[in-house]
C-alpha cells in the first residue's frame, strides 16, 4: 500500500518512497529508504516539501484512523501521479542566469552525494537523477546559455561533479537542436549526467592529480567508462541510452578511441553526442595543470581534429551554443572589445555583445550591450581574442552579471 501523507505525519520506521516536489526543495539525494534517524524528519520539516509518499509494505503505516492525502492499492514502482509538463517559455539570459546559478549550486551537491554513495557500493538512484535532469532541462529550455556557461566555471576540486552537470545541460541543448522528442531529450540529459560515473571507482591520487598523467595512470583512467557501465548495470531503472553513452563517450569515429575502439557507424548517435559535449566542457574548463580555452577558440580547435567527431553532430553542437558561445572574448571592427552575453535567433554570427574596452584608447569604457542582429547595427565581430593576453579580472562577471565569479 502506497500512501501520500503530510510531512508532519512522518515517523521513524516509515519507508519514504518519494518526495512530492522538486529535488531542489529537499535536502536528500536518495529516495526509497526507511527513516531511522529523527534528524531526517527534522530536515524534511524544515524544507519546502509538504507531502511525501510512504510504502506501508516496506515500513510502518500511519496510525489507524489517521487521514491521508491519497493512497494506491497496487504496489506500483512509480507512486507519483503523472504530471503533465507545461511548455517552458524562453527568457532573456539576464533573467535566467541567477536561477541557473542556484541550480548549478544545488546540482553539484547532489552529484557529489551520488558519487559518494556509489563509492560506498550503493546502487545509483536513477529516480533522483531524473529529477535533477528535469530542472536542468527546464533551464536549458528557458535560455541554454545561462546554465551551460555557468557550469563551465569550475574549481579543481569540483571539476568532476560540475563536469557532469555541464555535459547534462549540453546534451539537452544538442538534443533540442536535433529535434528530438522531449522524453528522448531527457534520456540524453540523464546519460550526460551519468556519463563519468565510473570516475568514482578511480584512485583519488590519479583522479585528482594536479598534473599530466603518466602512461600507466592514463591506462587506469581509461577504465572509467567500463567501470561506470558496470555500476549502472548493477542498478535498476537505467535505460539503454545511458548505458551506451557511459560506455562509449570516449570512442572516436576514426577508431582511435576507447574502450572498444569503435569507428564510424559502430558508434551510436547518442555516444557521438556525448563525445562532443564531454570534450568541449573539458577543454573550456580550468584544470590544475591547464587553463581552460576560450569557448570560441575551443570550437575552432575541435573543428580541426579530423577523425574525432561526427561532422553532422559537431555542426549541430555549434548551432546549439553558437559560433561565439557565451563568454567568448571578441574584437569588433570598431576596435572595441567585448564579451558575448547571449545568442540571438537571427544568425550564429550575430550574438549580443557587452562592449567594455577600447583598443584605440587602451582604456576601459562604460559597458554597452550591442545586439548584432539588429539591422541598424553597423559594428561587427572582426576576430576572437585570447583572454589570457588581456587578463581582464572581471570577464566572467561581465558576461554573467553575477558578482564574485572572477575570471
Query: Considering the chain, what percentage of its residues have pLDDT values greater than 70?
Result: 94
pLDDT at site 236: 83
pLDDT on residue 383? 96
pLDDT at 406: 64
Greater confidence, 76 or 148? 148
Overall average pLDDT of the 356-360 stretch: 97
**What is the predicted pLDDT for the residue at 82?**
42
pLDDT for the residue numbered 149:
94
- Is the confidence at residue 75, as pLDDT, over 60? no
Instruction: Tell me the pLDDT tens digit for each residue of 206-223.
Output: 998 888 899 999 999 999
Q: Write out pLDDT tens, residues 77-117.
A: 444 444 445 678 999 999 999 999 999 998 998 899 999 99
Q: State the chain's mean pLDDT as an integer.
A: 90
Could you tell me the fold of the domain covering 93-321?
Answer: Hypothetical protein af1432 (1.10.3210)
Decide if pLDDT at 30 tops 70. no
- pLDDT one-digit tens code per residue, 121-176: 888 888 888 889 999 999 999 999 999 999 998 887 789 999 999 999 999 999 99
pLDDT for position 283:
95
3-state secondary structure the chain: CEEEEEHHHCCCCCEEEEECCCHHHCCCCCCCEECCCHHHHHHHHHCCCCEEEEECCCCCCCCCCCCCCEEECCCCCCCCCCCCCCCCCCCCHHHHHHHHHHHHHHHHHHHHHHHHHHHCCCCCCHHHHHHHHHHHHHHHHHCHHHHHHHHCCCCCCCHHHHHHHHHHHHHHHHHHHCCCCHHHHHHHHHHHHHCCHHHHHCCHHHHCCCCCCCHHHHHHHCCHHHHHHHHHHCCCCCCHHHHHHHHHCCCCCCCCCCCCCCCHHHCCHHHHHHHHHHHHHHHHCCECCECCCCHHHHHHHHHHCCCCCCHHHHHHHHHHHCCCCCCCEEEECCCEEEEEEECCCCCCCCCEEEEEEECCCCEEEEEEEEECCCCCCCCCEEEECCHHHHCCCCHHHHHHCCCCCCC
What are the residue boundaries of the structural domains of the chain, listed by start? 2-72, 93-321, 329-400
Q: Which band of pLDDT confidence, cut at 50, 70 and 90, is reported for residue 281?
A: very high
* Cβ proximity of 356 and 403 under 8 Å: no
pLDDT of residue 179 exceeding 90: yes
**The pLDDT value given to residue 158:** 87
How much is the pLDDT for 407?
Answer: 59
Average pLDDT over residues 335-349: 94
Q: Is residue 131 within 8 Å of 160, Cβ to Cβ?
A: no
CA angle 183, 186, 191 (to 5 degrees): 130
What is residue 70's predicted lDDT score, i.e. its pLDDT? 84
Average pLDDT over residues 258-265: 96
Tell me, what's the pLDDT at 80?
Answer: 41
Asked whether the predicted pLDDT for residue 197 surpasses 70, the reply is: yes
Q: Worst-scoring range by mean pLDDT, 18-27, 183-192, 253-262, 352-361?
A: 18-27
pLDDT exceeds 50 at position 76: no
Q: Read off the pLDDT band of 26 (50, 70, 90).
A: low
Amino acid at each position: 500500500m502506497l500512501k501520500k501523507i503530510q510531512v508532519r505525519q512522518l515517523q521513524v520506521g516509515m519507508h519514504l518512497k518519494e518526495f512530492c516536489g522538486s529535488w531542489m526543495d529537499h535536502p536528500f539525494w536518495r529516495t526509497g529508504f526507511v527513516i531511522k534517524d529523527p534528524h531526517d524528519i527534522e530536515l524534511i520539516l524544515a524544507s519546502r516539501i509538504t507531502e511525501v509518499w510512504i510504502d506501508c509494505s516496506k515500513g510502518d503505516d500511519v496510525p489507524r484512523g489517521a487521514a491521508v492525502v491519497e493512497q494506491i492499492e497496487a504496489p506500483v514502482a512509480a507512486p507519483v501521479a503523472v504530471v503533465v509538463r507545461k511548455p517552458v517559455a524562453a527568457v532573456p539570459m539576464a533573467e535566467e542566469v541567477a536561477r541557473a546559478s542556484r541550480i548549478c549550486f544545488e546540482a553539484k551537491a547532489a552529484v557529489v552525494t551520488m558519487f559518494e554513495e556509489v563509492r560506498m557500493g550503493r546502487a545509483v538512484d536513477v529516480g533522483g537523477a531524473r529529477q535533477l535532469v528535469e530542472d536542468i532541462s527546464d533551464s536549458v529550455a528557458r535560455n541554454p546559455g545561462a546554465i551551460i556557461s555557468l557550469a563551465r566555471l569550475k574549481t579543481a576540486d569540483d571539476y568532476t561533479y560540475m563536469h557532469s552537470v555541464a555535459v547534462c545541460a549540453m546534451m539537452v541543448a544538442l538534443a533540442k537542436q536535433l529535434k528530438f522528442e522531449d522524453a528522448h531529450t531527457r534520456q540524453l540529459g540523464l546519460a550526460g549526467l551519468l556519463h563519468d560515473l565510473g570516475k568514482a571507482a578511480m584512485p583519488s591520487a590519479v583522479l585528482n592529480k594536479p598534473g599530466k598523467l603518466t602512461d600507466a595512470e592514463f591506462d587506469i583512467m581509461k577504465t572509467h567508462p567500463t567501470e561506470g557501465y558496470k555500476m549502472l548495470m548493477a542498478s535498476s531503472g537505467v535505460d539503454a541510452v545511458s548505458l551506451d553513452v557511459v560506455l562509449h563517450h570516449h570512442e572516436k569515429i576514426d577508431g582511435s578511441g576507447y574502450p572498444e575502439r569503435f569507428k564510424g557507424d559502430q558508434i551510436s548517435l547518442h555516444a557521438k553526442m556525448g563525445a562532443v559535449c564531454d570534450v568541449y566542457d573539458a577543454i573550456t574548463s580550468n584544470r590544475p595543470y591547464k587553463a581552460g580555452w576560450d569557448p570560441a577558440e575551443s570550437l575552432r580547435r575541435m573543428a580541426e581534429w579530423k577523425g574525432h567527431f561526427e561532422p553532422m553532430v559537431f555542426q549541430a553542437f555549434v548551432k546549439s551554443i553558437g559560433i561565439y558561445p557565451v563568454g567568448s572574448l571578441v574584437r569588433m571592427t570598431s576596435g572595441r572589445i567585448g564579451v558575448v552575453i547571449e545568442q540571438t535567433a537571427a544568425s550564429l554570427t550575430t550574438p549580443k555583445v557587452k562592449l567594455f574596452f577600447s583598443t584605440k584608447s587602451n582604456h576601459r569604457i562604460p559597458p554597452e550591450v550591442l545586439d548584432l542582429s539588429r539591422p541598424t547595427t553597423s559594428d561587427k565581430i572582426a576576430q576572437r581574442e585570447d583572454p589570457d593576453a588581456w587578463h581582464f579580472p572581471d570577464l566572467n562577471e561581465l558576461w554573467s552579471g553575477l558578482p564574485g565569479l572572477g575570471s
